[in-house]
Amino acid sequence: MTRFFVFLILLPLGSLHADDPILIGHRGLLRHAPENTLPAFASCLELGMGFELDIRTTKDGKLVVLHDATLERTTDGPARPLTEFTWDQLREFDAGSWFDPRFAGLRVPSLEETFALIRERKRRPTLIALNIKGITRDGERELVRLLAKFALFEESFAFDQSAQCSQRLKKLDSRIRIGRNVRREALDSTLAEDAIDVFLLTFVPNEAEVSLLRKHRRTILFNYAGTGEHRREEKNWLRVREVGIDGMLTDYPLDCAQLWQRVRASADSTKVKP
């Protein structure tokens, strides 16, 4: 198996509190390792975080983890669609050097390799966001098979696929959880559909909205993925923790975890000792 560069020095293990929302690294720990690669995912698992990944299908039907439809941004491959390459051909391309020479030799991982990594490396219960970018009907069946093989139905959900794809996945196995990005104005109508298990809120919810989703037994996430200062406002990180959501998708999980750790330490220091 490919060697891993796991950045455990970046955050002390144990500083992620079980009562906090789970942090879900967007494409893994993408600011510290090449996105959508096994080291980026391994780092999240070692630190007790979840992660988001992107699923596409090769020419010969292999489910792989790659964000873009073409290869040139995150590999040394050509500016051509992934669907023109077989799994064996894809494995010839370097998926790490573009980020840093230390990662030379990394390959685009298959979904099965990624699920095997989760089983091997997770330190505590996790949450895996499966962003379905491009998947065939056979790929849908393979996704369900892999979720069953690695017992990941409870610790994952699929999102960004079409409503028709979601329906087919549920028909293949009712245990698969379906997620969707939900705006505040669509909250009630989405609940009324009764088709979504995981609400990826695109807004910071208030207590009443969290209570409503809890009443309907939905998983509540805040989708704060992306870069820029508007995606790392500490007031939002603190607010979603206060209202008690289940998790947050972010490009800055380490920064957020360290903020929550400081806030908790400050609160503990002000408690009156008996």
Instruction: Summarize pLDDT for 54-95 with one digit per residue, the tens.
Output: 999 999 999 999 999 999 999 999 999 999 999 999 999 999
Domains of the chain: 15-268 (3.20.20.190)
Q: Residue 123 — very low, low, confident or very high, per pLDDT cuts 50/70/90?
A: confident
pLDDT number for residue 273: 57
Predicted TM-score (pTM) of the model is 0.93
**Averaged pLDDT score across all residues of the chain:** 93
* Between 242 and 15, residue with greater pLDDT: 242
In whole angstroms, what separates CA 68 from the centre of its chain? 16
The answer, yes or no, to whether residue 221 has pLDDT greater than 80, is yes
Nearest-CA neighbor of 225 among 23, 32, 55, 48? 23
> Rounded distance, CA 13 to CA 185, Å?
39
pLDDT number for residue 84: 98
Q: Sort 266 into a burial class: Cβ within 10 Å, 0-12 / 13-18 / 19+.
A: exposed
Least confident of 34-38, 183-187, 261-265: 261-265
198, β-bridge pairs: 179, 219
pLDDT number for residue 269: 76
Q: Residue 2 — very low, low, confident or very high, per pLDDT cuts 50/70/90?
A: very low
pLDDT number for residue 272: 56
pLDDT number for residue 268: 77
Cβ neighbour number for residue 227 with a 10 Å cutoff: 12
Q: Which of 11-15, 171-175, 263-267, 269-273 has the highest mean pLDDT?
A: 171-175
Q: Residue 144 — very low, low, confident or very high, per pLDDT cuts 50/70/90?
A: very high
pLDDT number for residue 100: 96
Nearest-CA neighbor of 112 among 83, 145, 67, 68? 145
Q: Residue 19 — very low, low, confident or very high, per pLDDT cuts 50/70/90?
A: confident
Contact of 248 with 198, CB cutoff 8 Å: no
> Rounded distance, CA 254 to CA 227, Å?
14
DSSP 8-state assignment for residue 55 = E
pLDDT number for residue 8: 46
Q: Residue 17 — very low, low, confident or very high, per pLDDT cuts 50/70/90?
A: confident
Instruction: Give the SS3 label for residue 131.
Output: strand
The answer, yes or no, to whether residue 125 has pLDDT greater than 50, is yes
Average pLDDT over residues 31-41: 97
In the Cβ-directed half-sphere of 274, how many Cα atoms lie within 13 Å? Answer: 0
